[in-house]
Amino acid sequence: MKILLFSKRNIKEILRDPLNLAFGLGFPLAMLAILTIVNKNIPADAGKPVFAIENLAPGLAMFGTVFMSLFAGMLIAKDRSLAYLSRLFVSPLTSKDFLIGYSVPLFVIAAAQGMITLFASLICGLAFTAWLFLAVVVTAFVSVLFIALGLLCGSVLSDKAVGGFCGALFTNLAGWLSGVFIPLELIGGGFKAVCGVLPFYHGVEAIKDVLSGDLIGMLPHLGIVLAYAAVIYIVAVFAFRKKMRAG
């Protein structure tokens, strides 16, 4: 009951901020429209299209989840700076209640956002299959990486610094190092190797694989993302609990 109330509050705080809606929902859709137009204007004799919808849709679905770090980070950092978190720390809520209450709403929002991005991709030419629904679920699981990053940043940084880290740094890292904006095959070499070590590219590949029905191929990619997420989440829990003890 307490967790549900706290989760509902967090969803309201996030979704009632028009900037959150504009960035979190509008930005991936705007990118989808722009890159689809770019793709259509590339001459046919240029060879394989750079932003084929089969690549673009999973890429933008993953890219949208990066905003979960901004939402989580800003919410927690603001709760800290306004001392709302102090008020809540005095209440009978436990650290488990806080972590679930902050995380679950973002998981739900990520699923909704993934669904909107992937279903909007149908208008841009993505073929409809039943795998689309599972892709929404996989997108939500990919978002756990960014939820964990947001929890960590919100626990240790000011709200201004969270804006810089989650709003600028992570969005650029996730965009450029995942192959969303530039297909990694076009660059190759060391850049591609580095991207292969980081989780962003694997987030895109996991969604891409599930969209094409390749569940076996999807598992190692999702595994890498969740492994990163687990490590960051553990660090975030440690940082949050330390803040709780510090009052």
Tell the smallest beta-carbon distance from residue 16 to another protein (Å): 4
Pick between residue 88 and residue 104 the one whose CB is nearest to another protein: 88
Size of the site for another protein (CB under 8 A): 24
> 212-242 as b/e, with b when 16 or more CB fall inside 10 Å?
beeeeebeebbebbbebbeebbebbbebbee
Binding-site member from 27, 78, 95, 134 for another protein (CB under 8 A): 78
Q: Does 242 bind another protein (CB under 8 A)?
A: no
Q: In the set 29, 88, 104, 116, which binds another protein (CB under 8 A)?
A: 88
- Regarding 23 and contact with another protein (CB under 8 A), the answer is no
Collect all residues with Cβ–Cβ distance below 8 Å to 239 and sequence separation of at least 6: 151, 152, 155, 156
Give the pair of three-digit tokens for residue 179: 């192959």
- Could you say which of 27, 49, 52, 84 contacts another protein (CB under 8 A)? 84
CA-CA distance, 151 to 157, in Å (whole number)? 10
Q: Do 149 and 240 touch, CB atoms closer than 8 A? A: no
Q: Alpha-carbon distance 229 to 206, whole Å?
A: 14
Among 37, 38, 91, 161, binds another protein (CB under 8 A): 91
Minimum gap (Å) between residue 240 Cβ and another protein? 15
Angle at CA of residue 57, ends 51 and 58, nearest 5°: 110
Residue 5 contacts another protein per CB under 8 A: yes
Asked whether position 21 contacts another protein by CB under 8 A, the answer is no
Residues that bind another protein (CB under 8 A): 1-2, 5-6, 9, 12-13, 16-17, 78, 82-84, 86-93, 245-247
